[in-house]
Structures are given as C-alpha cells and as structure tokens.
Structure 1
C-alpha cells in the first residue's frame, strides 16, 4: 500500500527510484554478509566443539593426577610444592575484523622458554602424579586460551548475524515493497494526470476551432 504522505510528482518518482536501487543493492550486500557470517560461524562452532572436548579431556586428566598426588602426599608438602611458581605466563589480547565483526585474538608468552620451569618444586619429595597434573595443565593451556577466543567470537558473530538478519528482513518485507508500492502509485497518478491534461487540451482545441471557424470537431 502506498504511503498517504507521498506527493505524486516526477521529482519524487525519481527520488524513490534511486532509493529503491540503493535499497536493493544494500539488501543483496547484507544477504551476502549474512550468508558468509553464517558459514564462518558454523566453522567456528565445529572447531569449538572439538576444542572443548580436548580441553575437558585434559582437565579431567589433570584433576585425576592431582587427586592421586593428594592421596600420596601430605597436604603440607603439596601446598609447599605449589606455593612459589617459577614460570609466569602473560596473555596478550588483540582484535581481528571478520565481516565488520571485531573478534578477539589471544596469545600468550612465558617468562622463560625453558619448559621445565613449569615445575616449581624439587622432585625428591613429590609424587610423579603431581608432575603429570602440572604437565597436563601446561599442555592444555593453549587449547583453553584458543577455546576462550573461539567461544567469544561465536557469541559476537551470533549477535551480528541476528542484527543482519533483521536488517535483511526489514528491507525485504517492509522497505522495498513500500518503495515499489509508492513508485507504482506515483506512476499511476502521473499517467492519470497526463490523460486528464490531454483531455482538457483536446476540449480547449475544440473550443478554439469552434470559435475560429464556427464548426465542431468530432
């Protein structure tokens, strides 16, 4: 249905046609963006599932080793062994633009490159299960960081997909049909006005001819 506020003029018709072209182009671009976001989103969801399974498996192994270590060691010895860590980890956060979505990227650095620095204790009075637990956590840490990055990326992309979907629907079901209806309405009004003008001109011509030559046209 055409808007009642539309002024049926050729200038308005030209303006609406240009607006329709822009809206149609924007609709296509937004659809392409939505489809590409969905593709990348599904890829990250699959990657997230695989990483989560790995992380849960690694944490489960680490917890099992900690329980075994606690069972075979005195609490005081265990607490003392874990009291002063030698290694230190720093996490660096960045941003990556994916289809206008700023998704986070995480990277980490250790204070020293020596992998043995993850063990902050001597091996004489500690259980090998404690070594396994510490090693399991060290091994799974990169995957945990990557999992956090992907899960946050999935959340941000899901929000952007929903926003893009709403915009596509608004253009497809509201704006473009309304513009088309308004263009049709103005075109019909202009054609009607043109026909009315022609009829009036013909009547004027008849009157002029009648006055000039004293006869009527048929």
Structure 2
C-alpha cells in the first residue's frame, strides 16, 4: 500500500485531510445508522402490534358477516351487486417521509363518499349491514397501515445494511490504511531529517577540518616568510632606492625612437 507513496510534506497534509474527512464521515454514518436502527425497531414493534390487531379485526369482520347474513338472508347479495360501480370511493394514496436522508413510503386510505350503500339493507337488517361494512373497512385500513409499515421496514432494512457496510469499511479498512500511510510518511520524513542532519554535521566537520588545515598551512607559510622575509625586503628596498637615485641623477634619457 505504501510502495507508491512519496514521503513528502504535501502528501502528508493530503493524507491527514483524508483522515479527518474519513473520521467525520464515519461519525455521521454511525449516527445515521443508530437513528435508522431506532426507527427500525420501532417499526418492527408496530408491525407486530398491527398484525395482532389485524387478526382481531378479521375475526370481528367475519363474525359480523355471519350476523349480517343471518339477519338479511340472500337478498343482500343482489343489493350489493346493484351498488357496485366502475369507480370506487376508497382510494390509497402515498407520500414520502424523510428520515435521516432516507425516503420511506407511507400509504394512507382515503374514503370519498359512501359508495352508494345508503339504501342497502333498508328493508331488513340495515344496522347489521352497516356494522359489517364498518368492520370490513377497519380491516382494509389496518391492511393499508400494515402494508405501509412493511414497506418502510424493508426499505430501512436495506438502507441499514448499506450504511453498516460503509461504516465498517471506513472503520476497519480505510481509516487503518490512512493511519498506516501517515505513520509511514512520518517515519520516512523523520529518517530523512536525521540523514540530512548527519550529512550537514559531516559537511560542517569536513569544512572545519579543511579550515584548520588551511590555517596551519598559512601559519607555516607566514613563519617561513617571516624567517626569510627580512633579506628579501631589504634587497627589494635597496634596489628600489638605487633605481630611484639613478633616475634622479641621470641627465638625459635614451632615445626611444631612432
């Protein structure tokens, strides 16, 4: 993983920025997963209660149907068939609920009008017919509620799985890799700094040694010149004085151009 990483300060800053983003993303995804898990457990409890309630409502609806048949006899069949139309007053609508960035479908039952059953059972057993209708409508409402809960349950289950996979990938794969890269770059840069310090120290030591040698050679030369410099200085000064005297005492200069 670290073979293609160049241990420079710019790369280190980039990796540290990635580490900060990864930890921030892990924190947010963890909070999202916790919030979704709480909602998931809440929906699961509602589903269990809705199923138990649905069983009770279905039993009551079936019992009410038996009462209605016993009261009205077979004539209710024809009355119901006459009231059936091509459109139904009972409709199911759907809207989306946003939960931590997850859209959950919510189904609602809407009743438009009475469906033309006002006169059903008017001659005999009208009360039983209305009770039977109300019981069955309660069953339908509970089925729609249960369908909404089941759909949200399935959607949340899938989203929680994806979120947990991302959390685990950040926690156990990406963040450890970034930590390894940052540690590698730190160690390499520290080693380079130590090598540079040792190199500078050796260069400084070599320069000091060379300077000391040059200083010793210069002192030796100065001592030699000092020992032999008196005669050289006197001879040079005498020659210069003689040259100056000859120039002053000479009457005429030699011709330059003949």
TM over 0.5: same fold? yes
Structure whose alpha-carbon radius of gyration is higher: 2
SS in 2 for 1:174: helix
Query: Which one has more relative contact order, counting CA pairs under 8 Å at least 6 apart?
Result: 1
Q: Write out per-residue CA displacement over residues 13-58 of structure 1, whole angstroms, 9 at most, x where no aligned residue.
A: 1110111011111111111111111111111111111111111211
Answer yes or no: is 1:35 the counterpart of 2:34. yes
SS in 2 for 1:82: helix
Does the Cα contact within 8 Å between 2:76 and 2:120 map onto a contact in 1?
no
Aligned residue pairs total 210
Residue 51 (structure 1) aligns with: 50
Q: Write out per-residue CA displacement over residues 126-150 of structure 1, whole angstroms, 9 at most, x where no aligned residue.
A: 6876554322112233322222111
- Separation in 1, partners of 2:89, 2:202: 97
Q: Write out per-residue CA displacement over residues 71-125 of structure 1, whole angstroms, 9 at most, x where no aligned residue.
A: 7734xx343232224871122211110111101122232222x5x9556623435
TM-score (norm 2): 0.73
Cα deviation, residue 187, structure 1: 0.2
TM-score (norm 1): 0.85
The RMSD of aligned alpha carbons is 2.5
**CA 1:120–1:41 in structure 2 vs 1: closer, same or farther (change >3 Å)?**
farther
Residue 12 (structure 1) aligns with: 11
- Separation in 1, partners of 2:118, 2:188: 85
- Separation in 2, partners of 1:119, 1:172: 64
**CA 1:208–1:127 in structure 2 vs 1: closer, same or farther (change >3 Å)?**
same
183-192 vs 80-89, greater mean Cα deviation: 80-89
Does the Cα contact within 8 Å between 1:55 and 1:140 map onto a contact in 2?
yes
Does the Cα contact within 8 Å between 1:24 and 1:176 map onto a contact in 2?
yes
Answer yes or no: is 1:81 the counterpart of 2:96. no
**CA 1:27–1:120 in structure 2 vs 1: closer, same or farther (change >3 Å)?**
farther
- Separation in 2, partners of 1:120, 1:209: 119
Answer yes or no: is 1:124 the counterpart of 2:123. yes
- Separation in 2, partners of 1:22, 1:11: 17
> Which runs of 5 or more structure 2 residues have no equivalent in the other structure?
215-258
Does the Cα contact within 8 Å between 2:54 and 2:139 map onto a contact in 1?
yes
Residue 171 (structure 1) aligns with: 170
